[in-house]
Amino acid sequence: MAISVDRVYQQVLTMANKEQRGYITPQEFNILAVSAQMQIFEQYFYDENQVDRNVKNSTQFSNVDEMIDEKISVFKLTANVGMIPGGIGNLPNNLYRLGMVYRSNTTIELEQLQEEEYFSVKNSPLAKPTNKYPAFFRKDNATIQCFPNITQVSINYIIKPTRPAWAYTVVNEKALFNGGNAVNFQLHYSDMSELVYKILSLSGMTIAKPGLGSYGDQQIAGQKQQEKQ
């Protein structure tokens, strides 16, 4: 479930007015909203890694691993990648993180190597990639190279959240919300409070509103402490 960009902005303004610590304009909000969403989005993967290292809670509705997977699942996609001569394939333009790479229509997964690793093992009779144990490396952010020569592979990957935007129309020198052109946050609904506090926190660092920034930092710290109890 997406988070309403207008609801977040109104909460930010309400807290700013309540604390009498400053005002965030629509232009400032849109800049901060992008940064806040990406910070929380990246935290999903850090939290996922931490959960994998710890004992998982199997209680229904409170399994942390399942909660994190639910948050990430909306950003997961699959795609077929056709190969050009040399086993080189172009990755999707919207790729943010690459997951599994496997032969299309099979369960054979390609092992990911660093480019220097491949050149060190390619002449080894025992270690070089084969049809049974294929491999690939990232040539750059946009392409992969597979060995041996494979005509098509399938990939799992993560896309980046769409940039949120509080769209508005100026009427009598006042910004009025334009829902038709607005772009909501793609984060999980449970992250709404953190999103509001994060924007307030960032305001102190990026747009010189230290009062709002300090207030946001305090709210984030309090929320994190509550989550640990």
Per-residue pLDDT tens over the stretch 141-184: 899 999 988 889 999 999 999 999 999 999 998 999 999 999 99
Between 206 and 140, the higher pLDDT residue: 140
- pLDDT per residue over 93-131, tens digit each? 999 999 999 999 888 999 999 988 888 888 888 888 998
pTM as predicted: 0.79
> CA of 3: how far to CAs of 116, 171, 186, 189, in Å?
43, 26, 6, 6
Q: Looking at the chain, which runs of residues are DSSP E strands? A: 76-84, 88-90, 95-103, 111-112, 135-138, 143-147, 152-159, 168-171, 174-177
Query: Looking at the predicted structure, is the pLDDT value of residue 228 above 50?
Result: no
Give pLDDT tens digits for 21-52: 667 899 999 999 999 999 999 999 988 877 65
Q: Give me the pLDDT at residue 226, please.
A: 44
Give me the pLDDT at residue 33, please.
Answer: 97
User: Sign of torsion, CA 117 120 125 128?
Assistant: positive
Burial of 130 (0-12, 13-18, 19+ CB in 10 A): exposed
Q: What is the pLDDT of residue 146?
A: 93
- Res 222: pLDDT: 53
